[in-house]
Amino acid sequence: MAPVTSLASTVDQRIADALSAALPEAGSADPLLRRSDRADFQANGILALAKKLKGNPRELAGQVVAALADNDVIKEIEVSGPGFLNITLTDRAIVGTLAARAADDRLGVPFAAHPGTTVIDYAQPNVAKEMHVGHLRSAVIGAAMVEILEFTGEKVVRRHHIGDWGTQFGMLIQYLTEHPHELDHQGGDIDGETAMSNLNRLYKASRALFDSDEEFKARSRDRVVALQAGDKETLALWQKFVDESKIYFYSVFDKLDMEIHDPDVVGESGYNDMLEETCRILEETGVAVRSEGALCVFFDDVLGPDGNQVPLIVKKSNGGYGYAATDLSAIRDRVGRLDATTLLYVVDARQALHFRMVFETARRAGWLGEGTKAVQLAFGTVLGKDGKPFKTREGETVRLEDLLDEAVERATAVVREKARDLTEQEIAERGGQVGIGAVKYADLSTSAVRDYKFDLDQMVSLNGDTSVYIQYAYARIQSIVRKAGDVRPAPHAEVELAPAERALGLHLDRFGEALAEVAAAYEPHKLAAYLYQLASLFTTFYDQCPVLKAESPALVENRLFLCDLTARTLKQGLALLGIRSPERL
Ligand code: ARG
């Protein structure tokens, strides 16, 4: 199995070679090749070059064309406009390249030249609390980045930095001490919903006591001290809350059709043993200083409204460690022990300042060296249809599970309407795959940092930029292939390609390049855009080029071949986004 050189880079190389042959004084100039509707590609690089060499661009372009060696890739090349090159490829080169892709399990996509180790921090809900749409975004975007990076050959370590530590546990644990059987499960296993409602009930009851009963409040505070001191009994009760929450988390991840592995769940508490040392080093090296009793790190460019510097507090004046101390310790662990070359955090954009300060502190302390990248893949807020932060009609935050259930329900209705030969069970299964896919796709198809509107009607629509549209394109191809029966897809380098076939073929050939861009810039929305365009190009092809009724057997086989490669590319791309491709819809 071998990686395939894309037509774009083959042509780019040929033009670059011709450029340096014709104009040795130009050095290695970039031909600036891009897809074009007029021809297959257009190269614009000669314009800038002519300026630099003070020559006539059309003349230079003519010299480059003349210097182009005879080849079997470029069928036609002409100078146009002020000095562009319009390039048309041979049909043979297009089909041949696609055939090489089809022969490879990875569709000819190469591995990254220098893979490293990325530790990715995503899907990090908080213990004893309901998950919200922000947690959904982190999970969906993070899971897609995991798959995409792994596909490029990167070693990926997942870290689910759940919020499982803090003073809020004092009250909960104290309540459980006084009502010891509240989290016992006599009847065996419980489901996620029950777990969450148990936690909600305990939270409300303990909160009420905490607010009304001074003595309970005092006992709760002592509990925090006992927890931080590592008291065995207290820790055992704390663990019960963590376990109960995990039942709930896993049920939601399961609904999201997402695999989360327990060893990768290393929450805030996982770094407790390092906190003291982290603070000691920061203080000893002078990176952090005492200020009003707290241990703080200051930054010239982080100022409050009054113009004073706002510090990152690593240790509070009461001796407690906070979010920052934990994140700094996590960096030490991830770089020092896990050998990360990249730290990627899929976290709400509203935490951007926190991460900026944490990364800078880690740099000053030497925990983040020059060779280590630290990036926040920041995502925006989920808005309701009205463009305001997402709430129910009653003004409450929307429960993530209700939302997923509704998406599946709507998708099931869409599947049912279209279904001709599906059984009830198949409709339900497809409904799940379409509904969850739709939620993920909506999240992944806009640039992460932008806020986006959660609009279920739009998400499960068959028209427009939705996963349903892409899944239908996939299922339609499967149905064509089934109808073809014994006629198998096969590439035919000798056939003449119609314009819609060229456009489809050239886009198929771009898959690896698109992925490389997506992986390098952490932009899964560009993969979504690639797939949507692929499905659209397929639709045009299918409208314009009969497949099974094409004029000759070679044409039928070649078109089936294009269908098949399209399906495989769609399926692979959707899988990287965490979205299923049902065979029938
Ligand atoms: N639990 C946090 C929240 O719900 C997200 C954690 C992000 N990761 C981190 N290393 N700080 O907002």
**Is the CB of 327 inside a 6 Å radius of any atom of ligand 1?**
yes
Chain position carrying tokens 């993920």: 440
Per-residue tokens: 288 = 């952090």
Q: Within this chain, do residues 568 and 440 fall inside the same structural domain, yes or no?
A: yes
Q: What is the DSSP string of 201-222?
A: HHHHHHHHHHHH-HHHHHHHHH
Are 76 and 180 contained in the same domain?
A: no
Report yes or no on 517 lying in a domain: yes
How far is the centre of ligand 1, averaged over its atoms, from the C-alpha of 248 (Å)? 18
What range defines the domain where residue 251 resides?
Answer: 168-263
Average per-residue pLDDT in the chain? 94
Q: Is 163 in the pocket of ligand 1 (CB under 6 A)?
A: yes
Atom of ligand 1 nearest to the CA of 126: 1
Give the pLDDT of residue 467. 97
Residue 345, in any domain of the structure:
no
**Same domain, residue pair 177 and 76:** no
Q: Report the distance separating Cα 399 and Cα 116, nearest Å.
A: 38
252-255-259-263 Cα dihedral, nearest 10 degrees:
20
pLDDT in tens, 517-558: 999 999 999 999 999 999 999 999 999 999 999 999 999 999
Same domain, yes or no: 432 and 563: yes
The DSSP-derived string for 95-148 is: HHHHHHHHTSTTTTPPPPSS--EEEEE----BTTS---HHHHHHHHHHHHHHHH
Six-digit token string for 179: 């009502």
- Regarding whether 567 and 437 lie in a shared domain, the answer is yes
One domain, residues 405 and 524: yes
Strands of the 294-297 sheet, one edge to the other: 289-291, 294-297, 312-315
Q: Looking at the structure, do residues 443 and 560 belong to the same domain, yes or no?
A: yes
Whole-number pLDDT of residue 283: 98
Task: Say if CB 475 and CB 584 are below 8 A apart.
Answer: yes
C-beta separation of 521 from 375 below 8 A: no
**CA-based nearest residue to 126, from 168, 87, 155, 90:** 168
Residues 429 and 562 in one domain: yes
Question: What separation in Å is there between the alpha carbon of 141 and the centre of ligand 1?
Answer: 14
Under 8 Å between Cβ of 65 and 47: no
Q: Ligand 1: which residue has its CA nearest to atom 4? A: 125
| Per-residue confidence (pLDDT) for residue 511, from 0 to 100 | 98
Q: Is the CB of 124 under 6 A from ligand 1?
A: yes
Pick from 249, 347, 353, 400 the residue to mutate for probing ligand 1's pocket: most ligand atoms within 8 Å of its CB.
347
Structure tokens at 64: 């480059």
Ligand 1 centroid to Cα of residue 138, in Å, is 9
DSSP 70: P
Neighbours of 470 (CB within 10 A): 26
| Closest ligand 1 atom to Cα of 355 | 11
Residue 323 alpha carbon, nearest atom of ligand 1: 11
Would you say 8 and 14 are in contact if contact means Cβ atoms under 8 Å apart? no
Give domain status of residue 249, yes or no: yes
Q: How far is the CA of 162 from the centre of ligand 1 (A)?
A: 6
Which CA distances in Å does 166 have to 11, 154, 225, 321?
58, 34, 11, 9
Q: Point out the domain boundary residue: 59, 89, 119.
A: 89
Pocket probe mutation, ligand 1, options 351, 353, 357, 377, max atoms within 8 Å of Cβ: 351
549 found inside a domain: yes
* Pocket lining: 57 vs ligand 1, CB cutoff 6 Å: no
Write the pLDDT tens digit of every residue in 83-138: 999 999 999 999 999 999 999 999 999 999 999 999 999 999 999 999 988 899 99
Are 81 and 187 members of one domain? Answer: no
Q: What is the CATH number of the domain that holds 543?
A: 1.10.730.10
CA of 583 to the centre of ligand 1 (A): 37
- Distance between Cα 82 and ligand 1 center (Å): 54
Here the tokens at position 569 are 């590319």
> Separation of 333 CA from ligand 1 center, angstroms?
17
Boundary-marking domain end, from 41, 67, 89: 89
CA pair distance 209, 278, nearest whole angstrom: 36
CB-based contact 562:504 (threshold 8 Å): yes
* 213 and 65 co-located in one domain: no
347 C-beta closer than 6 A to ligand 1: yes
Instruction: Say how many Å lie between the CA of residue 47 and the centre of ligand 1.
Output: 49
CATH code assigned at 84: 3.30.1360.70
Beta bridge partners of 78: 86
Q: How far apart are CA 284 and CA 234, in angstroms?
A: 33
* Euclidean distance between CA atoms 440 and 457, whole angstroms: 14
ipTM, 2 dp: 0.99
Residue 30 lies inside a defined structural domain of this protein: yes
Confirm or reject: Cβ of 126 under 6 Å from ligand 1. Answer: yes
Q: How far apart are CA 237 and CA 242, in angstroms?
A: 9
State the Cα angle at 193 between 259 and 380, rounded to 5°. Answer: 60
CA distances from residue 82 to 45, 251, 275 in whole angstroms, order as listed = 11, 61, 64
Same domain, 443 and 569: yes
Mutate to test the pocket of ligand 1, among 138, 161, 354, 361 (most ligand atoms within 8 A of CB): 161
Residue 377 in domain: no
Tokens read off for 6: 């894309």
Among residues 436, 509, 430, the alpha carbon closest in space to that of 475 is found at 430
Which residues make beta-bridge pairs with 391?
Answer: 397
- Nearest atom in ligand 1 to the alpha carbon of residue 351 is 12
Residue 267 Cβ inside 6 Å of ligand 1? The answer reads no
- Find the 150 Cα to ligand 1 centroid distance in Å: 23
Question: Does one domain contain both 75 and 215?
Answer: no
Q: What is the DSSP letter of 230?
A: T
Residue 350 lies in a domain: no
Distance 124 CA to ligand 1 centre (A): 6
Pairing of strands 452-453, 382-383: parallel
What tokens were used for 105? Answer: 């399990």
The Cα 455–Cα 453 span in angstroms is: 6
Map tokens 């220098």 to a residue.
114
368: nearest Cα among 337, 339, 326, 332: 332
SS3 of 290, please?
strand
For residue 343, report the distance from its CA to the centre of ligand 1, in Å: 14
Q: What 3-state class would DSSP assign to 347?
A: strand
The identity of residue 424, as a single letter, is: E
Of 263, 280, 312, the residue that ends a domain is 263
Structure tokens at 416: 């049912």
- Residue 312 inside a domain? The answer is no
Q: Which among 446, 371, 454, 448 is positioned nearest to 407, based on CA atoms?
A: 454
Task: Report how far ligand 1's centroid is from the alpha carbon of 344 (Å).
Answer: 12
For the CA of 347, the nearest atom of ligand 1: 7
Total structural domains within the chain:
3
Q: Which ligand 1 atom is the nearest neighbour of the CA of 162? A: 1
Structure tokens at 549: 């009724």
Give the residues of the chain that fall short of pLDDT 50: none
